């Protein structure tokens, strides 16, 4: 029954309201605070990439793209994945271009989850996973990770697997904690899912943003995992174009066939001229090969500027987020402190409790350092006043 007593539509996601990202960004703009809350770059993308998009816009590439994506882009993605990770995905049957990683995640989750199925979610978790599970009638089963290391307790995971478990969601490098999966994590997961009907959605949108020489260990690199994984990626984070909402899914043929059945009725296809432009732009590996150093500089600059503060932190391993503990400064709830910092100090952040279902408050704030250097230095200076 869709009608509540007063005739209003009863919500399928009653616990979902305005997201914290909207709340904090609005507060930052209303108060003139430096906005380190939402995860998007404060600088523009490459002019070369813009010129390529313009070229295709002006030369008639403006009608529907093929449902699975422009062949040249699928080929470029397959080639890049082979070169970087030594794994081959067939561009015709195993690579699909999507409208952002968000669409890829939703389609992959929808392809797997039926009513009553259980999906294991590590929390803190990016906010789109759980609604997608629940809209499909699935039940999220949470494995809680805690600071300072956010390491996975694999015995805990094992204990949560039941006959109903059909899906496990991975995110490496991780938003919000920056944690990067290790070879041991991959081996532990492979041992758990081996010979079970459990599929994996691996959110790897920050694959090119990891630090201190750490490799990105795509789940595609482990054969036991590769055969059951939907790898979801995004060009938004890699090329500073989050507003273009263009991503992709790599998955073995049988999984891709089911994935595309959903994709073709969610969006059917994705913006055409940008696909052609990205296919050309991907021929040069330099932009993504230089990305770790580009962001490592920003991470270090931001952390150096915080050294005189009373915040405690471990340098983030990957992503463009840095979490900090304020445990030794105040015992205010993290939500309240994030609001107060925005209003009084002029720096907006995200309270990490929002990434937990039970709103676990470990006294941690998340800052996005994908901003210009002068902005990061100014934010650091202000935060040292606390």
Ligand X SMILES: Cc1ncc(COP(=O)(O)O)c(C=O)c1O
Q: Which residues bind ligand X (CB under 6 A)?
A: 39, 100-102, 126, 171, 175, 203, 205, 234, 236, 242, 245, 247
- Taking the complex as a whole, the smallest distance from the CB of residue 270 to ligand X amounts, in Å, to 11
What minimum distance in Å lies between the beta carbon of 338 and ligand X? Answer: 18
Cα–Cα distance, 377 to 375 (Å, whole number): 5
Helix (H) / strand (E) containing 323: strand 321-325
Q: Cβ closer to ligand X: 172 or 305?
A: 172
Task: Give the residue with the Cβ less far from ligand X, 169 or 279.
Answer: 169
DSSP assignment string, 261-287:
HHHHHHTSS--HHHHHHHHHHTT--HH
**What is the C-alpha to C-alpha distance for residues 141 and 34, in angstroms, rounded to an integer?**
36
Q: Are 171 and 126 in contact (CB under 8 A)?
A: yes
Query: What's the min distance (Å) between Cβ of 39 and ligand X?
Result: 5
CB of 368 to ligand X, least distance (A): 10
Least distance to ligand X from the beta carbon of 101, Å? 4
Supply φ then ψ for residue 236, to 5 degrees: -55, -45
Nearest-approach distance from CB 292 to ligand X, in angstroms: 17
Closest CB to ligand X among residues 85, 239: 239
How many CB atoms are closer than 10 A to CB 106? 25
Q: Please, which residue, 134 or 203, has the CB nearer to ligand X?
A: 203
Q: Among residues 174 and 228, whose Cβ is nearest to ligand X?
A: 174
Contacts of 320 (CB under 8 A, 6+ apart): 39, 41, 206, 209, 237, 295, 298, 299, 368, 369, 370
Beta carbon of residue 98, minimum distance to ligand X (angstroms, whole number)? 8
Q: Name the closest residue to ligand X (Cβ).
A: 100
CB of 331 to ligand X, least distance (A): 29
The residue among 126, 120, 125 whose CA lies nearest residue 154 is 120
User: On the CB side of 153, how many CA atoms lie within 13 Å of its CA?
Assistant: 11
- Bond into 173 cis (ω within 30): yes
Could you tell me the smallest distance in angstroms from the CB atom of residue 44 to ligand X?
17
Within 13 Å and on the Cβ side, how many CA atoms surround 350? 29
Q: Is 83 exposed, middle or buried (0-12, 13-18, 19+ CB in 10 A)?
A: exposed
Residue 217 DSSP class: -
Quick one: 56 or 320, whose CB is closer to ligand X?
320
- Verify cis geometry, omega within 30 degrees of 0, for the bond prior to 124: yes
CB nearer to ligand X: pick between 210 and 382? 210
Q: Which is nearer to ligand X, 35 or 305 (CB)?
A: 35
> Which CB sits closer to ligand X, 20 or 345?
20
Task: Give the residue from 318, 316, 300 showing the smallest Cα distance to 380.
Answer: 300
Spatial separation of the C-alpha atoms in residues 341 and 337, rounded to whole Å: 6
């Amino acid at each position: 029954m869709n009608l509540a007593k007063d005739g209003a539509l009863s919500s399928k996601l009653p616990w979902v309201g305005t997201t914290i990202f909207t709340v904090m960004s609005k507060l930052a703009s209303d108060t003139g605070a430096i906005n380190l809350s939402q995860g998007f770059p404060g600088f523009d993308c490459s002019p070369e990439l813009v010129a390529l998009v313009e070229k295709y816009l002006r030369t008639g590439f403006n009608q529907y793209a093929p449902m699975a994506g422009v062949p040249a882009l699928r080929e470029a993605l397959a080639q890049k994945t082979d070169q970087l990770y030594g794994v081959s995905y067939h561009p015709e049957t195993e690579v699909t271009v999507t409208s952002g990683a968000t669409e890829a995640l939703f389609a992959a989750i929808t392809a797997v989850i039926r009513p009553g199925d259980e999906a294991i979610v590590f929390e803190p978790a990016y906010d789109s996973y759980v609604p997608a599970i629940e809209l499909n009638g699935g039940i999220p089963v949470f494995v809680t990770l805690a600071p300072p290391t956010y390491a996975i307790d694999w015995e805990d995971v094992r204990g949560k697997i039941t006959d109903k478990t059909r899906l496990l969601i991975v995110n490496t490098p991780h938003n919000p904690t920056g944690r990067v999966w290790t070879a041991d994590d991959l081996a532990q997961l492979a041992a758990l899912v081996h010979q079970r009907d459990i599929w994996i959605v691996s959110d790897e949108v920050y694959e090119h943003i990891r630090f201190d020489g750490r490799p990105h260990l795509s789940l595609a690199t482990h054969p036991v995992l590769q055969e059951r994984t939907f790898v979801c990626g995004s060009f938004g984070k890699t090329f500073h174009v989050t507003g273009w909402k263009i991503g992709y899914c790599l998955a073995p043929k049988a999984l891709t066939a089911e994935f595309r059945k959903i994709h073709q009725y969610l969006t059917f296809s994705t913006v055409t001229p940008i696909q052609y432009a990205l296919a050309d732009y991907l021929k040069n590996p330099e932009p993504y090969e230089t990305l770790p150093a580009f962001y490592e500089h920003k991470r270090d600059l931001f952390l150096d500027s915080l050294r005189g503060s009373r915040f405690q932190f471990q340098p983030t391993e990957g992503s463009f987020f840095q979490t900090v503990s304020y445990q030794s400064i105040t015992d205010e709830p993290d939500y309240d402190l994030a609001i107060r910092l925005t209003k009084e100090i002029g720096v907006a952040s995200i309270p990490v409790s929002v990434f937990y279902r039970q709103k676990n408050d470990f006294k941690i704030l998340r800052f996005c350092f994908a901003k210009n250097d002068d902005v990061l230095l100014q934010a650091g200076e202000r935060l040292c006043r606390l």
